[in-house]
Each structure stands twice: as C-alpha cells, then as structure tokens.
Homo-oligomer: A and B are copies of this chain.
Amino acid sequence: MDWVTVVVLLALLQYIVFAVLVGRARGRYAVKAPAVTGNETFERYFRVQQNTLELLVVFVPATWFYGQYVSPTWAAILGAIYLVGRTVYLRAYVADPAQRSAGFGLSVLPITVMVFGTLIAAGWKLLR
C-alpha cells in the first residue's frame, strides 16, 4: 500500500461525492428518472459527474501505470493535482459553465502527462 493507491482511492471517493451531488440535485430540482435534462442546475451537476467519469476511466490506469513504470512519487503528486483540478472544476461549472476551463485544464494536464510519460518510458525500454 502506498500513496499512489491512496490518491487513486481519493479520486474514486471524490467521484462518489459528485454522484451523490447529482442525486441530491435530481431530488431538489424534481428531475424525474430517466430524464437527465429539464433543469439547468441539475444539468450542471450531471455534466460535472459525467465529465469526471470520462476522465476517471483514464486517470485510474494512467496513475497506476505511471506509478509502476515511471515514478510513484510523481504519480501521487500528479494525482493530487488532478484532485484539486476536479474540485475547482465542480465549483466553477456549477457557478458558471463558461468558467470551467481552469479546473478542466488542471485535471486533464496531469492525466495527459502520465499517459505520455508512461508511453515514452515504454517505447524507450522496448525499442533500445
């Protein structure tokens, strides 16, 4: 057990919290299942969760691979930046979707660095 695992688990927990916020918004703004539109605020929470799902599916294996093949310390640091980025994204998106870029970039950047970083390390080892 190491900090990489802890960061990945915290990302899973953060996503669960985002999903709970969607459920709460569904009740509060009376958006009945299976509808996922009809109230702007609900849609914002829903899109934050969906966007986090879209990143999480890459974040989990990317962090694990990067920690395994490049650097566990940097995997934990980049993972922590992702966590902060997602929190900024949630707050900005719910307040005003047009302001979502900063938080989006802050959470996409570490994922991209880890995917490319591991690919370069892999290519290096396989080709030399």
Contact = CB atoms under 8 A, between A and B. Distances in A.
Protomer copies? 3
Interface residues of A, number: 49
A111 B16 CA distance: 10
B34 A97 contact: yes
A10 B16 CA distance: 22
Contacts of A107: none
Residue among A33, A34, A36, A44 having the largest count of chain B Cβ atoms under 10 Å: A34
A32 to B, nearest CB: 7
The 4 nearest A-B residue pairs measured at CB: A33-B97, A34-B47, A34-B43, A1-B122
A104 B119 CA distance: 26
Interface in A1-20: 1-3, 5-6, 8-10, 12-13, 15-16, 19
Contacts of A44: 34
